[in-house]
Amino acid sequence: MNQQHQNERARIREAIDRLLAGQAALSDGSLTVVALATEAGVHRMALLKRHADLKSEFYERVRNETQQIPENEKRLRKTVAKLQKTIANQKTEIEELRELVTRLTLASAVLTQKEDATQGAPQATDNVIPFRSPAT
């Protein structure tokens, strides 16, 4: 590791400690990666790409030391709950549509049977030639 990389890591660790202590100097003090990057004076993408282990450590410490759920996890949980509700609604709708298809199929069969019964035997037309019975 070069010196600049080590300096970034040291600044990030110090920023983690300040944020968790509630003594933010450069950021708004929120417990997010954006605030951590601002507090450490590093670009957010540098934190996410080069120092992903420190980002994970930050979130783990937020969860353990403050008994809070990180903001991104809250958003994900909210999205998951919304998607689960959507899935449940779609399953209900699919079941209702299946029942409707069954009822319509039965209604169609009844109507077809009634139509056949009212027409009686099919009438022979002049242009139809009956098949001969097979010779035995």
Quick: pLDDT tens for 66-104.
777 777 788 899 999 999 999 999 999 999 999 999 999
- Indicate if 23 and 60 belong to the same structural domain: yes
Q: What is the mean pLDDT of the chain?
A: 86
What is the pLDDT at residue 125?
Answer: 66
Query: Does residue 34 lie within any of the structural domains?
Result: yes
- Indicate if 27 and 16 belong to the same structural domain: yes
* Domain ranges, residue 49: 8-68
Handedness of CA 17, 22, 25, 30 (dihedral sign): positive
How distant, in Å, are the alpha carbons of 65, 66, 98, 117, 120 from that of 109? 68, 66, 17, 12, 17
Residue 62: pLDDT band with limits 50, 70, 90 = confident
- Indicate if 59 and 88 belong to the same structural domain: no
Query: Among 51, 68, 85, where does a domain finish?
Result: 68
- For the chain, the straight-line distance linking the first and the last C-alpha, in angstroms and rounded, comes to 97
**C-alpha to C-alpha distance for 104 and 98, rounded to whole angstroms:** 10
- Indicate if 60 and 86 belong to the same structural domain: no
- Residue 120 pLDDT greater than 70, yes or no: no
Residue 3: pLDDT band with limits 50, 70, 90 = confident
